[in-house]
């Protein structure tokens, strides 16, 4: 998947400390009451790009002070070191999972296993969240949901994961990652059209170069034939990338809506979604996929699949600590670093010269998210 992460989208969410994370609603009446609560509005654009913060972990609390008002220097130094470590692991894992998944899908025998691959990642995510919610770790408290209200969101999640993988399969890594920059303007557009939510004028102006940069690279990439040794992007690649962005944006908006409606944080919501989505996709595998014979497929590809699952689990875990320890702003900065790293490495691996005309689109798009 694309970042299998599931990586998410893929998105961690901002919560207030002391919210109902510490309560599990097992009672059916309480559940019905919670699910019947009306939803009058969606989240703003800025709320789309972050996950609700889990409860603040004591050893991640950067503001804790000594009795005399000073901060404990040793503890603060350890906290910053741990936070830096988690940010580094998250960045490395996200970059690695993109290139690992690309290498897997470059093998023709695995290109027809898109649904099975997505199913594997969803179950890995579900298992990771289950372990993190157990009492001996207790990073968050599960909040059980009924199946019926979760089906639309789980279905959209499945489509989002599959189309991300398809986009990565049939696109260059650079184009795949640049196209994902469109998530921000697309979410803003959906919010404006369907929820009458607007963003500040200055923020709207920054979306223009984002769209312009993606348009330039979308126009020139399929036309670039001067360097046949470089991986080519076709019109199919553009279609899959834009479809992936559209589905992912709808999924992002729905996540914010579900969180408000059912008063759940991102980890609680994903805890409910992932196993449902995994079962839904598992049922489709016999009808949609052609699974490679174990003996015929290269052994290193099977190892890559296991590594991809491990990277997905690491991304989920590290994202939790980043949000809990530093908040959404630091998480956004880490996201920019990951985007720049993936685009730069993808361009180098593609062997395209800097003089390629699509390079201008890459520069415009990257500049728009950094500035």
pLDDT category of residue 62 using cuts at 50, 70 and 90: very low
pLDDT at 284 > cutoff 90: yes
pLDDT at 202: 83
The tens digit of pLDDT for each residue in 2-28 reads 444 444 444 444 443 334 343 333 444
pLDDT at 305: 93
- Residue % of the chain over a pLDDT of 70: 70
Higher pLDDT, 7 or 290: 290
Per-residue pLDDT averaged across 51-79, rounded? 48
The tens digit of pLDDT for each residue in 41-53 reads 333 333 333 334 4
Name the pTM for this structure.
0.73
pLDDT at 326: 62
- Residue % of the chain over a pLDDT of 90: 32
pLDDT at 256: 86
- State in Å, rounded, how far the first CA of the chain is from the last one: 28
Higher pLDDT, 327 or 250: 250
- Which of 108, 127, 102 is CA-nearest to residue 275? 127
Query: Average pLDDT, whole number, for the chain?
Result: 77
Higher pLDDT, 116 or 293: 116
pLDDT at 234 > cutoff 50: yes
pLDDT at 272 > cutoff 70: yes
Q: Rounded distance, CA 232 to CA 263, Å? A: 45
pLDDT at 70 > cutoff 60: no
The tens digit of pLDDT for each residue in 179-199 reads 888 888 898 899 899 988 888
The tens digit of pLDDT for each residue in 305-341 reads 999 999 988 887 887 777 666 655 566 667 778 888 8
pLDDT category of residue 350 using cuts at 50, 70 and 90: confident
Take residue 189 and report the two structure tokens written for it.
Answer: 């557009």
pLDDT at 232: 61
Q: Rounded distance, CA 112 to CA 116, Å? A: 9
pLDDT at 219: 81
pLDDT at 224: 58
The tens digit of pLDDT for each residue in 134-178 reads 999 888 899 999 999 999 999 999 999 999 999 999 888 888 998
- Vertex 26: Cα angle to 20 and 29 (nearest 5): 95
Per-residue pLDDT averaged across 89-105, rounded? 92
Per-residue pLDDT averaged across 276-286, rounded? 95
pLDDT at 244: 94
pLDDT at 259: 87
pLDDT at 355: 54
Query: Residues of 141-167 as b/e, b for ≥16 C-beta within 10 angstroms?
Result: bbbebeeebbeebbbbbbbbbbbbbbb
Least confident of 32-36, 249-253, 331-335: 32-36
pLDDT at 319: 76
């Amino acid at each position: 998947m694309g970042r299998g992460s599931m990586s998410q989208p893929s998105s961690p969410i901002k919560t207030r400390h002391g919210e109902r994370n510490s309560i599990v609603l097992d009672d059916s009446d309480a559940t019905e009451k919670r699910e019947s609560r009306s939803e009058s509005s969606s989240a703003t654009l800025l709320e789309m790009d972050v996950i609700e913060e889990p409860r603040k972990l004591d050893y991640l609390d950067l503001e804790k002070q000594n009795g005399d008002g000073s901060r404990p220097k040793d503890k603060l130094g350890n906290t910053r070191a741990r936070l830096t470590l988690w940010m580094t692991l998250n960045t490395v894992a996200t970059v690695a999972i993109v290139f690992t998944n690309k290498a897997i899908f470059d093998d023709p025998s695995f290109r027809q296993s898109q649904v099975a691959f997505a199913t594997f990642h969803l179950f890995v995510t579900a298992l990771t969240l289950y372990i993190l919610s157990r009492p001996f770790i207790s990073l968050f408290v599960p909040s059980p949901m009924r199946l019926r209200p979760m089906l639309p969101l789980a279905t959209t999640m499945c489509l989002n994961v599959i189309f991300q993988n398809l986009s990565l399969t049939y696109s260059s890594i650079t184009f795949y990652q640049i196209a994902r920059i469109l998530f921000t303007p697309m979410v803003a557009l959906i919010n404006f059209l369907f929820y009458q939510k607007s963003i500040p004028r200055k923020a709207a102006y920054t979306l223009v170069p984002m769209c312009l940069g993606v348009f330039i690279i979308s126009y020139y990439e399929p036309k670039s034939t001067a360097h046949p040794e470089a991986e080519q992007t076709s019109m199919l690649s553009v279609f899959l990338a834009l479809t992936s962005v559209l589905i992912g944006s709808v999924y992002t908006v729905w996540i914010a809506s579900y969180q408000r409606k059912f008063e759940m944080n991102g980890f609680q919501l994903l805890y409910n979604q992932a196993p449902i989505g995994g079962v839904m996709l598992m049922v489709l595998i016999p009808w949609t996929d052609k699974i490679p014979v174990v003996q015929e497929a290269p052994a290193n590809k099977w190892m890559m699949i296991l590594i991809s699952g491990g990277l997905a689990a690491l991304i989920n875990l590290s994202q939790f600590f980043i949000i809990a320890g530093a908040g959404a702003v630091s998480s956004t900065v880490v996201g920019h670093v990951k985007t720049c790293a993936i685009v730069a490495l993808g361009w180098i691996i593609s062997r395209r010269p800097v003089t390629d005309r699509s390079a201008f689109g890459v520069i415009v798009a990257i500049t728009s998210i950094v500035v």
